[in-house]
Amino acid sequence: MKLFLDTADAAEIRELAATGLVDGVTTNPSLAAKTGRDYSESLKEICSIVSGSVSAEVLATDFDGMLKEGRAAAKIAPNIYVKVPSTWEGMKACRALTDGGARVNVTLCFSPLQAMMAAKAGAAFISPFIGRVDDIGEDGMGLIRDIRAIYDNYGFKTEILAASIRSVSHVREAALAGADISTIPADIFKKLMSHPLTDKGLAAFAADAKKANVTIKV
């Protein structure tokens, strides 16, 4: 599974990219607003840190506006993916941008049929929002499983990008459900390697080595 960071904060991305395990980044207007910076400038910096895909979301909701913004965003760097919403206008923009050579991430996906339409419109990524589906008392992970089944039934190549991740368990479950990618907030990404038994085991090894003066010559 590919792991993306779900943030527009370049400093956060720089810190975690040093792990060598960040395959890409997703941003959206709310995440961009949190940085207080110019969105295009942030995207340029993020693309210089990460060589994998960096998703940039359009603000327009009409076809012409999405096309203009999408084309402009795609020019920021070769690894930009343009995010458009799961609407009819979004589907038209997805097809036009894809035909023009851009890669498109269809976002705000809440139903398997929206995901099927996005795949038919040529989307590179579909972003089902697990956490927001759970928030309204429905089954976010079930959405990932349904999309996986539909894509596999018909051989759609669109990658399933599990979004709106709220916990480490979401990442594990999305991997088990067959999502191709999880996009993860930095605080949750940092917890992916945590386990109390690893810490306990390390402390015991260190104590035993100290007692018997076990070393590795360097």
Catalytic residues: 83
**Closer Cβ to ligand E4P, 116 or 163, answer by number:** 163
Contacting residue, 3, 6, 63, 109, with ligand E4P by CB under 6 A: 6
Say whether residue 28 binds ligand E4P (CB under 6 A): yes
Say whether residue 107 binds ligand E4P (CB under 6 A): yes
In three-state secondary structure terms, 1 is coil
Say whether residue 26 binds ligand E4P (CB under 6 A): yes
54: β partners:
25, 80
CB 57 within 8 Å of CB 28: yes
CB 58 within 8 Å of CB 65: yes
Please state the closest distance from residue 54 (CB atom) to ligand E4P, in A: 11
Please state the closest distance from residue 197 (CB atom) to ligand E4P, in A: 30
For 162, the enclosing helix (H) or strand (E) is strand 159-162
Phi, then psi, of 102 in degrees rounded to 5: -85, 160
Would you give the binding string for ligand E4P spanning residues 124-163, x where CB under 6 A is met? ---x-x-xx------------------------------x
Q: What share of the chain is helix, strand, coil (3-state, %, to 5)?
A: 50, 20, 30
Please state the closest distance from residue 167 (CB atom) to ligand E4P, in A: 11
Q: For residue 129, how far is the Cα from the chain centroid?
A: 10
Report which DSSP code applies to 79: T
Enumerate binding residues for ligand E4P (CB under 6 A). Answer: 6, 26, 28, 107, 127, 129, 131-132, 163-164, 183
